Amino acid sequence: MNLVQAISAMGLIALPQLHAANPVNVAVSDEIPRRPNIIVIYTDDQGYGDASCLNPAAKFQTPNLDRLAKEGISFTNAHCSDTVCTPSRYGLLTGRYCWRTTRKTGVMGAEGTCLIDDERITLASLLRDNGYHTAMVGKWHLGMDFPGEAKSRDWTQPVKDMPLDKGFDYFYGVPASLNYGVLAWFEGRHAKVPPTVFTNKKPNRRHVDYRIMPPYQSTPQETQRELGTRGMEVAPDFIDNQCLTRFTDKAIEWMSGKADEAKAGKPFFLYLPFTSPHYPVCPLPEFHGQGDCGGYGEFVIETDHHVGRILKYLETAGLDDNTMIVFSSDNGPEKSWQQRIKDFNHDSRGQFRGGKRDIYEGGHRVPFFVRWPGGIQEPSRSYDRVVGQVDLLATFADVIESKLPENAGEDSQSFYSVLKSSQTKYTRLPLINHGSGGRFTITEGSWKLVLAHKKSTPELYDLSTDIAETTNVVADHPDVVKQLTQKITDIVARGRTTAGTSQANDTGYWNDLKWMTEAEYKAAAVLGN
């Protein structure tokens, strides 16, 4: 019995409902397919338990996510690199942990210097430079340079330091989470209807959060008088519940324009980060009443519907066989998961400990499916060993047979062998996770060490027997604590997880590294060289 099977038998999580591999599902040729089209669908605040194939007790169904698992591989021990939005997106796109940058905690607003340097290789620039068309449609949240100040914008001028500067040929979307403002339907470097009016959060009848919807005010002061809080910038035609439909429509429109070239040998890469089920939870009326988990369940059902639209398009366009879809979420569920357990008996965490912002499994173990009909050997299987979202860069480089330079994807380890064979001997190097407040963990095999931080002392969990992280065994295994502490010290100080020349972090020592001194940090960095 493997780890996931043992956990499932304990009733803590469920294996995806997958068919056993059979001759119909197994690719009969060992021939490497031509370079695939690649789509990364990234949801926002979706917990492990919010995919019905991973949660038999789910109070709503996600048939299209379940299909990705059934026709591909379900990675049941996959992790975002942080437990909030901005740093997870940085790690996903660059294969480098965000805490190596100046962003040590929390998230960005809509406006600010982009965390990704222009020179840094991203998923998009890697694929673009290897002959791919590249597009991003959805939520960015890594910083943009808007023209002028909030009170005196010149929207005839272009937006700078944004997706088009990070490897993407095409961009349509919103700058950040909707509560940060500067909300408009940006396409390229401009918004067709600029964000020239103001608004703020309004009551939401379907959930415990808020809405961003008309009527809007002409000045921030008017919003202050109407809503009791200062206004944020918004376009007159912006409505929060239009995001998923607009993003999917634009994604399909863009892919349609590249379909003929894709069939002729010039593939495409689409990064599709949805805004759901992050607040505001705002399902369209046609999804009201679906499922048994209120507005939140309706919103996840709507999200799943749009995943189905992408799948249907690929089939209709004749692109399905050689398109790889990677689906995951940026972190665990928002704190309203507690209310859903009470009101609907639905556990968005998948019964792991914690959720969004937390350093425990519920904060960073997320749904992760890979479907590629023409490239995955023996689909309909699950993989229960550790992988990280930071691993996509190295994996895609392997898929297209491109070598990453020393200063790219420093924390990215390819899991391409898992796609090619169910008998792979692949083992992930130690994986680092990071909480929104700056606390670190290191996971190697079934051991997970939560490092000392501020007033908190170290914690050690054996995930093979305690997946819910209920029993701290740090006192029972001092040798494991010592080994893992040394490994995370080396990984942090050397500027990389993978083998190769040490790379500098963007800052020196910082206070969240409580388990080591500044002298130890410097010494480890020197030894790494």
Q: Do 474 and 404 share a domain, yes or no?
A: no
Confidence bin at 441 (pLDDT 50/70/90): very high
The beta-strand segments (E) located in 321-469 are 323-329, 368-371, 381-383, 387-388, 431-434, 440-444, 447-450, 459-462
* Displacement of CA 279 from its chain's centroid (Å): 16
Q: Do 357 and 504 share a domain, yes or no?
A: no
CA–CA dist 445, 72 (Å, integer): 24
Kindly state the tokens that stand for 214.
């008309």
Q: Which of 78, 88, 95 is nearest to 366 (CA)?
A: 78
Higher pLDDT, 145 or 30: 145
428 domain-assigned: no
Q: Do 486 and 373 share a domain, yes or no?
A: no
pLDDT at 525 over 70: yes
Q: In the predicted model, what is the mean pLDDT of residues 352-363? A: 98
Confidence bin at 528 (pLDDT 50/70/90): low
9 domain-assigned: no
184 domain-assigned: yes
CA–CA dist 376, 367 (Å, integer): 18
Kindly state the tokens that stand for 98.
């965000």
Question: Tell me, what CATH number does 394's domain have?
Answer: 3.40.720.10
Q: Do 212 and 327 share a domain, yes or no?
A: yes
408 domain-assigned: yes
Confidence bin at 33 (pLDDT 50/70/90): low
pLDDT at 326 over 70: yes
Q: Do 392 and 473 share a domain, yes or no?
A: no
Q: Do 296 and 346 share a domain, yes or no?
A: yes
Angle among Cα 65, 323, 399 to the nearest 5 degrees reads 110
Q: Which residues contact 30 (CB under 8 A, 6 or more apart)?
A: none
239 domain-assigned: yes
472 domain-assigned: yes
Q: In the predicted model, what is the mean pLDDT of residues 130-159? A: 96
Tens of pLDDT, residue by residue over 470-514, are 999 999 999 999 999 999 999 999 999 999 999 999 999 999 999
Kindly state the tokens that stand for 468.
């819910």
pLDDT at 437 over 90: yes
Q: Do 385 and 304 share a domain, yes or no?
A: yes
Which structural domain, as residue segments, surrounds residue 467?
439-528
pTM of the model: 0.94
Q: Which residues contact 286 (CB under 8 A, 6 or more apart)?
A: none
Confidence bin at 150 (pLDDT 50/70/90): confident
170-174 and 133-139 strand pairing: parallel
262 domain-assigned: yes
Q: Do 453 and 400 share a domain, yes or no?
A: no
Single-letter code of the amino acid located at 134: T
Q: Which residues contact 175 (CB under 8 A, 6 or more apart)?
A: 110, 111, 140, 141, 144, 162, 182, 183, 186
Residue 478: asked if its preceding bond is cis (omega within 30°), the reply is no
Q: Do 166 and 245 share a domain, yes or no?
A: yes
Of 363, 393, 420, the residue at which a domain comes to its end is 420
Contact in structure between 500 and 403 (CB atoms under 8 Å)? no
Q: Do 243 and 308 share a domain, yes or no?
A: yes
Q: Which residues contact 237 (CB under 8 A, 6 or more apart)?
A: 185, 193
251 domain-assigned: yes
Q: Do 221 and 355 share a domain, yes or no?
A: yes
Question: Tell me, what CATH number does 459's domain have?
Answer: 3.30.1120
pLDDT at 10 over 50: no
Tens of pLDDT, residue by residue over 235-282, are 999 999 999 999 999 999 999 999 999 999 999 999 999 999 999 999
DSSP per residue, 99-140: GGSS--SS---SSS--SS-TTS--HHHHHHTTT-EEEEEEE-
Q: Do 139 and 239 share a domain, yes or no?
A: yes
Q: Which of 428, 329, 442, 432 is nearest to 386 (CA)?
A: 428
Number of domains observed in the structure of the chain: 2
323-329 and 368-371 strand pairing: antiparallel
